[in-house]
Structure 1
């Protein structure tokens, strides 16, 4: 089922942004709302010259990294805590 904004299914968004003179972009409101991005939030920009650019919430990346490294939020390995 398509949502009312842009005809995309719920949870999906596509749009364009322009890069300003200072290299800044504006994240469209629909995307900010979708991801709960608020002023002052820290986002992580990942770039690969062949694959492109991805922007993720810093907390999401830290959580993912901790899962990969099998660490607790404090940076201690789970095995050390047992």
Structure 2
């Protein structure tokens, strides 16, 4: 079964020790190997759990930190503009 951004690989259940088996088809198609590390996200209200390969999160973090100078510059410009807007509003009163 296909979804907008992925595929449903079947069902699984959690054992007494909190272990969940990822279906073989998912492991094969997604290239998941034994011992693979995941970052676990969840939303209790929605009843969802999302596993993301740690290597993907590491790539994202590396990209973010490599680009952090650019993000810092943009954030500084936004912050300075916000401060200017606040000061301008204060002077009008």
Normalised-by-shorter TM-score class: 0.5 to 0.7
CA RMSD, Structure 1 to Structure 2 (Å) = 2.3
- Residues 1:34 and 2:29 aligned together: yes
Structure of larger gyration radius: 2
CA deviation profile, 1:6-40 (whole Å, cap 9, x unmatched): xx35x623311111111111000111112101011
Runs of 4+ in structure 1 displaced over 4 angstroms?
76-79
| Matched ranges for 1:1-82 at <5 A | 8=1, 12-51=7-46, 52-67=48-63, 69=64, 71-72=65-66, 77=68
- Give 1 or 2: higher helix fraction: 2
Which 5+ residue runs of structure 2 have no aligned equivalent? 71-93
Gap runs ≥5 in structure 1: 1-7
Query: How many residue pairs get matched?
Result: 66
